[in-house]
Amino acid sequence: ARAQDLDAFGYFYPEMWYDQVRISGWVPMAGAAVGPCYAGHANIAGLCDFVTMTRQTASIGVGGSHLVRASLSMDITPLELGGAQVHEPITGVADQVADSDEQAIAQIKEFLSFLPTNAGLEPPVISCNDPVDRREESLLRIVPFEHHKGYDMYRVIRAFVDHGHIFDIKPKWAKNMITCLARLNGRPVGIVANQPIFMAGVIDTPAAEKMAHFVEMCDAFNIPLVLLADVPGFMVGPEHERTGLVRRSMKTLYALGHCTVPIVCVIIRKAFGMGGYVMGSRGYRPNLLVGWPSAEMGGMGLGGAVEIMHRRRIAESDRPDELRAELIEELRAKMRALPTARFYGFDDVIDPRDTRRKLIHAFSLLTVKDPHLPPKKHGINPM
């Protein structure tokens, strides 16, 4: 909007936003900010399914730096106000960042290559020469035997997707949660995974919102989902409660509960508490739930469970640290994949090297789910 056009304001933007809202979930919407993008233009970007912005020239905001100066007497540059340094790692407004206009357009093209032209069609399947039955030996070595050690979940993902290629969504925001598009035997899939090397993969408010938005987008455009779980639970503590985590974390279950696309859950290592229920449980009716032999499931983390179950015994012990460690290992042996598979509804415990083959085979058989929703106008998302 231009100040010179103030007398014409009142129709154009609301009409455009209305159109965007009406076609949301039917037609993919992607936007690129390659320069200043304020007020109504920023709202257009905010309604897109995918937004990229150029690193040195783009800025996005409700109001520009001149308006900030006039309203708040604050001097700030456009990049400080709403550049990539803000919207990539802090707000998550930018799904990706480009170094040039040309790269921004290329990112949009690749994003759209995974999606159908409208939600009435299936995602485009391409030819693939990556063998369906390729066994990836590295998957036996990536996940550490020591449960307190982190590892890069991207290595796991790249090991089983076609040619190791992924299209990352919001990689710098909420880095404890990975959301990316990839292909399995040429077919697009959406992958949601905990990232153990950031915050141990715990789910906080940004991670929950990142996951929920991605799940809803994939479901809208008929892209099946793969969930890879290695999560100690939801984040706890007063700082995180004040972000509205109780309510906003439920966006994840809300999105999963409304899904009609096939969902396959793979428990890589741990799936504890509410985080475990979100990433891999029978509660939201996934089509397939499998675990690696390293999988552990439980209502809470093993350390917390031992502290609650054996608090008095530990307090009275002459060697509390050693006893606590022994009790954790005893409980861990009981919570392994093989002993607990039937209690948690596992369909199978698989060899990690067979992950690619198992996923491709599953998606070749699975079809769209009947959501069996009660009659209603629409659900109410826990905003």
Instruction: Return d(Cα 73, Cα 68) in angstroms, integer.
Output: 7
16 and 141 both lie in a single domain: no
3-state secondary structure of 190: strand
d(CA 174, CA 208): 9
In a shared domain, residues 199 and 70:
no
Q: How confident is the model at residue 3 (pLDDT cuts 50, 70, 90)?
A: low
Q: Residue 217's domain spans which residues?
A: 137-295+336-365
Name beta bridge partners: 228: 193, 266
DSSP string for residues in 14-36: HHHHHHHHHHTTTS--EEEE-SE
Identify the pLDDT of residue 364.
94
Q: Say if 378 falls within a structural domain.
A: no
Give domain status of residue 232, yes or no.
yes
Span 305-351, pLDDT tens digits: 777 787 788 887 888 788 788 777 777 766 666 667 777 788 999 99
Residue 281 CB coordination number (10 Å): 21
For residues 208 and 354, state if they share a domain.
yes
- Count of structural domains, the chain: 2
Q: How far is Cα 113 from Cα 116, in angstroms, rounded to an integer?
A: 8
* Least-confidence region, from 100-109, 204-213, 218-227, 279-288: 279-288
CA–CA distance, 114 with 181 (Å, rounded to integer): 7
Could you read off the pLDDT of 225-275 as tens digits, one per residue?
999 999 999 998 999 999 999 999 999 999 999 999 999 999 999 888 899
Contacts of 332 (CB under 8 A, 6+ apart): 147, 296, 302
Tell me the CATH number at 62: 3.90.226.10
Euclidean distance between CA atoms 24 and 18, whole angstroms: 10
Residue 174 and residue 29 share a domain: no
| N- to C-terminal Cα separation, the chain | 29
Judge if 221 and 89 occupy the same domain: no
CA distance 163 to 121: 25
User: Same domain, yes or no, for 196 and 82?
Assistant: no
3-state secondary structure of 166: strand
Residue 342, C-beta contacts closer than 8 angstroms, at least 6 positions apart: none
Residues 341 and 245 reside in one and the same domain: yes
